[in-house]
Amino acid sequence: MTYLRYLDVDDLLILKLLLSPLTQVEIAKTMGLTPPALTHRVNKYRDRIPNFEVKNNGSRKLRKLTESSREFCERAAKALDALA
């Protein structure tokens, strides 16, 4: 089942930005969100997308995505690019 259909354009952009080296604060600022609001959105993905996991490695810059999460973010980035 494709879970991309349950996401809006902002979700697709956040997922694409999770692949970038930006910090969570920078991603939130780019999206016009507060860092807690960004965390809330990411938690929504964990609830709705099977095997979606994002972990911080002790630094806000170092983000670890599981292989399935990275693949999902890459699919979201392709979907966003297709909309452009």
Token reading at 66: 């599981």
Q: DSSP letter string over the chain?
A: ---GGG--HHHHHHHHHTTSS--HHHHHHHHT--HHHHHHHHHHHHHHSTT--EEE-SSSS-EEE-HHHHHHHHHHHHHHHHH-
Report domain 4-83's class: mainly alpha
pLDDT tens digits, 44-61: 888 888 888 887 665 555
pTM: 0.86
pLDDT tens digits, 23-37: 888 999 999 999 899
- CB–CB of 60/76 below 8 Å? no
